[in-house]
Amino acid sequence: MPDWEPHGRRPLRTLFRFGLLRGPIGGLTLATTLASLAFVTFTSSMPLWLVREHGVAADAGLLGWTLAVFSLAAGLGALLGGVLAPRVGRRRALIGSLAAAPVPLIAIVTLEPGGVPYFLAAALAGALLYVGSPVTVVIAQDLAPGEPASAAGMVLGVSAAAAGALYAALGWLQEAVGLGVGMVTGFALAVPAALVVLMVLRRHLQAGR
């Protein structure tokens, strides 16, 4: 906020320019799409996995509590990211959290549902996936200072829409190779997301400080 200045009036045609996807904003959008797909994999597949693999009733409270803990932790993780980034650096906060997220995500499929370790893994997974969310928006707007609305819209909105569409393909994979394997595949996408961010920041070191 101290460095923020009103951007003034622009023609509507410049508020959202898809041409930004050809540059570093495109790389960040790809990374956030992969991270969002890992998130959608959890929220969409975990209830099904609990019912199919563990015999949990379809109306059991455990399903809601699992999603609630994961989603609330994601929100808290985003707040934590805003606190951590100025202290440890944007690069470490963003790449480190994405690279670490698959650990609790994959661990949760090996844990007994409903136990303390299970809920801790769900909370840690949600938090790690979203620690980098505010950091990514700031970096994107730094890389496109003249079009901050487009930059934010792409790394938030476009990536979420793309992840939702791609989950259809992941659902097909789950049917073909098994629900558990498909889930682990989706969770592991946070790792290439971290690698994409690393490549973008290496080419734009000022934004990745």
Residue 30 lies in a domain: yes
Residue 49 lies in a domain: yes
How confident is the model over 57-101, as pLDDT tens digits? 999 999 999 999 999 999 999 999 988 888 888 888 999 999 999
How confident is the model over 95-154, as pLDDT tens digits? 999 999 999 999 999 999 999 999 999 999 999 999 988 889 988 888 887 777 788 888
Residue 6 lies in a domain: no
Residue 197 lies in a domain: yes
Residue 15 lies in a domain: no
> Which amino acid would we find at residue 69?
V
10 Å CB burial of residue 172 (0-12, 13-18, 19+) is exposed
Buried b / exposed e across 34-56, counting CB within 10 Å, b at 16+? Answer: bbbbbbbbbebbbbebbbeeeeb
Tell me, what CATH number does 119's domain have?
A: 1.20.1250.20
Residue 7 lies in a domain: no
Q: What's the CA gap between 150 and 135, in Å, rounded? A: 16
Q: Which domain holds residue 56?
A: 22-203
What pLDDT, on a 0 to 100 scale, did the predictor assign at position 80?
92
Place of tokens 């797909």: 37
Residue 13 lies in a domain: no
Residue 190 lies in a domain: yes
Q: How many CB atoms lie within 10 A of CB 31?
A: 28
Number of domains in the chain: 1
